[in-house]
Amino acid sequence: MDSHREAYASRSPSIGLLVLTGSELFHRGELRRLPRRRLGKAIDSFLDLREGDLVVHLAHGIGRYRGLRLIEKQGQHEEHLEIEFDGGTKLFVPAVKIDLVQKYVGGTKTRPTLAKIGGKSWLKQKQAAEGAVHDLAVELLDMQAIRASRPGIAFNPDSDWQREFDASFPYHETPDQLSAISSIKRDMHRPRPMDRLLCGDVGFGKTEVAMRAAFKAVDNGYQVAVLVPTTILAEQHFHSFSERMAEFPFDIVKLSRFCTPEEERAALAGLKSGKVDIVIGTHRVASKDVEYHNLGLIIIDEEQRFGVDVKERLKTFRATVDVLTLSATPIPRTLHMSLVGLRDISNLETPPEDRLAVETKVARWDENLVRHAVMRELARGGQMYFVHNRVYDIELVANRLRRIVPEARLRIGHAQMPDDELEEVMVDFVAGKFDLLLATTIVESGLDIPNANTIFIDEADRYGLADLHQLRGRVGRYKHRAFAYLLIEPHKHLTPNAARRLRAIEEFSEMGAGFAIAMRDLEIRGAGNLLGTQQSGHIATVGYELYCQLLESAVRTLQNMPARITLDVDINLPGDAFLPADYIADLRMKIDLYRRLTRVAKFDHLDDLRSELIDRFGPPPPPAQRLLTLAELKMDAALWQIGSISIEEQFVVFRYGNRQRIEQLAKLRRGQLRIVDERNAYLPIPKGFMTPDKLLELTKSVLQPGE
């Protein structure tokens, strides 16, 4: 077929032939562009730091960031972060030591008080947090050891059926999906119970990954239980699993309040006899009266939303069967690194390649706006949600909408309706039998209806930021542009917190915004879900990033792993070293670059950063070039275990930590470097070398003797 015909139907009327491509037949086009990898903003990025924000100084505690200041000291210009503490005390932290400062993100709604410089309370709080994370690490490592010591199910390698099922997925898997699928299958092949956590933002493809695992279990002769938090989601998953596995002889049932007594009895009997392969339902699936013939895998969606009884029941399952837990809260990289060795985690950070960000608009209630948005969606054959979270006046809202857009077919759905009636509404909406679903927040969790691409959230100021993000995630599930309208009453005065939430949800509308939203909301939903609420107080006390550092340190200590290498070298040489405002004007970007520069620990990484600066901003001016050179010098000094470099009269003074290493360096310098005591070595400065550039060149030559 000619290239210009490849994507379109080929017609030959003379012989009565019509050739359709697969993409036309299934209405799923193939995009040729490369998948975009948009990592959620890690909290250790300072891109969202603004003047007035709270920060954590590792030595002194919580303070308030007051901006970046260029300070001259002994003829040397250097940028400093200005931090204000209790009583108005100010501390100026050199930009080259920016790693001492972290943005404060806590797990509490009350703002913490500023620390007092020289006080003892910060030290006590940090020690309490260290003890708590140590106990947490011990608990999680013990749990992991128990699982590793118990025999589990060693599933067989992929069969022809499994490969056929995997290949029938009508989209391109993202790199993260492929990595997660590979990790899960590897876990299932091992003869120990799997307990893997799969995290990802809304719409990033967790369900497909779970289906691959479920298929493998059933293909090996085992049963699968899928546990979800809401009846609506159970219904959705039941249809998704049934449709995806329709070509295979698997018996899939549901257990929820939508089931009739006869259906429930048949499902329970089928699970006990082994006739049923996959059961999908709410907490009923984990009830004590549910007997399984050969349970091999449990898939849990949002475990934190279940009660204590269900969680205790799940603990007994974990010891013998494979468990895959899904969470819609993506894990920031700081926490992910902290949990290395504690939990088996897969993180979905890449959006599907044809997915577009949801266009989000905050607006006062306007009938013309509502009508225009509804008519636009109707014109392209789409469907809509209208979320109104009060049952008593939902009929009034329905009448109002019918008056504004009589052209739209509207139905109501909420949890107080009879089960069979609510089920009928949801099934009809999925089938496209009406256009506009007016519902409460029962639609919040997991619903995947590709044809619904506009959502209205009434009285949006009443919702939490995470709730708004979840509701917005109900649209934009396919490649069409989706719209979310956050409506506020025309004359209502918004509280400052409500205004901030709405501003944040509008600002963070790109794919993968769950990271930024979770942090902006200061709820640490990921940390709370993963680590337990007992840890939230310590997160609030010391801040999220320091908590993660303490946790990672505890894990490394318990596993006898070496501590992370830190380049704690203090270099005090004359000369300007900073990023000038006429080179990088954006203050937040500048702070982020300072932070990245302090964390460079390898020479090739420094080369990459230098290339990035040239590519983005042009050749570095002398102060910026000197900053890069000092970073290189710091790595050289760390190799020789030198802790500081300074100038005293006519000498460059090297304070060292290892006598053997400094003697090796002195030998290479043929006696030019003089070791004067157990801490210091002196290098005489030759005549004419007292200029900043010459001193820097001299110091480099000493620390790079082989060059």
What mean pLDDT do residues 7-19 have?
55
**Residue 357 scores a pLDDT above 80:** no
**Residue 41 scores a pLDDT above 60:** no
What mean pLDDT do residues 374-389 have?
92
Neighbouring residues of 48: CB distance < 8 A, sequence distance ≥ 6: 41, 103, 516, 520, 588
C-alpha atoms less than 13 angstroms from C-alpha of 204 in its C-beta half-sphere? 32
Instruction: Look at residue 471 in the predicted model and tell me its pLDDT.
Output: 84
In the chain, CATH 3.90.1150.50 sits at: 570-703
CA-nearest of 232, 224, 228 to 251 is 224
Instruction: Look at residue 510 in the predicted model and tell me its pLDDT.
Output: 60
Higher-confidence position of 623 and 138: 623
Instruction: Look at residue 34 in the predicted model and tell me its pLDDT.
Output: 37
Instruction: Look at residue 354 in the predicted model and tell me its pLDDT.
Output: 64
Instruction: Look at residue 511 in the predicted model and tell me its pLDDT.
Output: 53
Band (427; pLDDT cuts 50, 70, 90): confident
Band (536; pLDDT cuts 50, 70, 90): low
CA-nearest of 483, 429, 434 to 454 is 483
Q: Is the dihedral of CA 63, 69, 73, 76 positive or negative?
A: positive
**Residue 453 scores a pLDDT above 60:** yes
Query: What are the E-state strand segments in 155-282?
Result: 195-200, 223-227, 252-255, 278-281
Q: How far apart are CA 288 and CA 245, in angstroms?
A: 28
Task: Return the DSSP state at 76.
Answer: E
Q: What are the backbone angles phi and psi of residue 495, rounded to the nearest 5°?
A: -70, 155
Q: How many H-runs (helices) and E-runs (strands) does the chain carry?
A: 23, 25
Q: How far apart are CA 46 and CA 55, in angstroms?
A: 11
Could you write out the DSSP letters of every residue in 483-526? Answer: EEEEEE-TTPPPPHHHHHHHHHHHH--STTTHHHHHHHTT--HH
Could you write out the DSSP letters of every residue in 376-406? Answer: HHHHTT-EEEEE---STTHHHHHHHHHHH-T
CA-nearest of 466, 461, 460, 470 to 528 is 466
Task: Return the DSSP state at 451.
Answer: T
Instruction: Look at residue 620 in the predicted model and tell me its pLDDT.
Output: 93
Classify residue 137 as left (phi > 0), alpha (psi -120 to 50) or beta.
Answer: alpha
The per-residue pLDDT of the chain, averaged, comes to 81
Q: How far apart are CA 707 and CA 703, in angstroms?
A: 9
Higher-confidence position of 287 and 352: 287
What mean pLDDT do residues 650-670 have?
87
Instruction: Look at residue 472 in the predicted model and tell me its pLDDT.
Output: 85
Q: How far apart are CA 132 and CA 664, in angstroms?
A: 43
In the chain, CATH 3.40.50.300 sits at: 160-348, 359-510
Q: In what side-by-side order are the strands of the sheet with 359-364?
A: 359-364, 483-488, 452-457, 383-387, 436-439, 410-413
Task: Return the DSSP state at 620.
Answer: P
Flag the least confident range among 14-23, 140-149, 252-261, 488-497.
Answer: 14-23
Instruction: Look at residue 199 in the predicted model and tell me its pLDDT.
Output: 81
Looking at the chain, the whole-number percentage of residues with pLDDT higher than 70 is: 82
**Residue 314 scores a pLDDT above 80:** no
> What SS3 state is found at 549?
helix
Tokens of 670: 């043929």
CATH 3.40.50.300 fits 359-510, yes or no: yes
**Residue 583 scores a pLDDT above 90:** yes
The CA–CA distances, whole Å, from 682 to 633, 651, 663, 685 equal 17, 6, 12, 9
Residues 235, 258 contacting (CB under 8 angstroms): yes
**Residue 518 scores a pLDDT above 90:** no
CA-nearest of 100, 92, 79 to 626 is 79
Instruction: Look at residue 310 in the predicted model and tell me its pLDDT.
Output: 76
Placement of tokens 């947490």 in the chain:
136
Q: Say which CATH class 160-348 falls into.
A: alpha beta
Residues 514, 327 contacting (CB under 8 angstroms): no
Residues 580, 624 contacting (CB under 8 angstroms): yes
Q: How far apart are CA 299 and CA 687, in angstroms?
A: 74
Instruction: Look at residue 38 in the predicted model and tell me its pLDDT.
Output: 37
Flag the least confident range among 23-32, 328-337, 378-387, 569-578.
Answer: 23-32
CA-nearest of 271, 140, 133, 157 to 195 is 140
Are β-strands 680-684 and 651-656 bridged in parallel, bridged antiparallel, or unpaired?
antiparallel
Q: How far apart are CA 334 and CA 546, in angstroms?
A: 10
pTM metric for this prediction = 0.66
**Residue 239 scores a pLDDT above 80:** yes
What mean pLDDT do residues 380-384 have?
91
Instruction: Look at residue 22 in the predicted model and tell me its pLDDT.
Output: 60
Residues recorded for the chain: 707
Band (531; pLDDT cuts 50, 70, 90): low
Q: How far apart are CA 117 and CA 173, in angstroms?
A: 52
Residues 220, 155 contacting (CB under 8 angstroms): yes
State pLDDT tens for residues 43-66. Answer: 344 556 788 888 899 889 999 999
Instruction: Look at residue 2 in the predicted model and tell me its pLDDT.
Output: 39
Flag the least confident range among 21-25, 90-94, 546-550, 589-593.
Answer: 21-25
Long-range residue pairs from 23-27, CB within 8 A, at least 24 positions apart, any chain? 26/170
CATH 2.40.50.100 fits 570-703, yes or no: no
What mean pLDDT do residues 353-364 have?
81
What mean pLDDT do residues 237-241 have?
90
CA-nearest of 479, 474, 422, 418 to 446 is 474
Instruction: Look at residue 378 in the predicted model and tell me its pLDDT.
Output: 93
Band (1; pLDDT cuts 50, 70, 90): very low
Instruction: Look at residue 701 in the predicted model and tell me its pLDDT.
Output: 87
Q: What are the backbone angles phi and psi of residue 487, rounded to the nearest 5°?
A: -95, 140
**Residue 607 scores a pLDDT above 50:** yes
Instruction: Look at residue 186 in the predicted model and tell me its pLDDT.
Output: 94
Placement of tokens 């790109």 in the chain:
510
Are β-strands 17-19 and 54-57 bridged in parallel, bridged antiparallel, or unpaired?
unpaired
Are β-strands 359-364 and 295-301 bridged in parallel, bridged antiparallel, or unpaired?
unpaired
Instruction: Look at residue 211 in the predicted model and tell me its pLDDT.
Output: 96
Residues 326, 191 contacting (CB under 8 angstroms): no
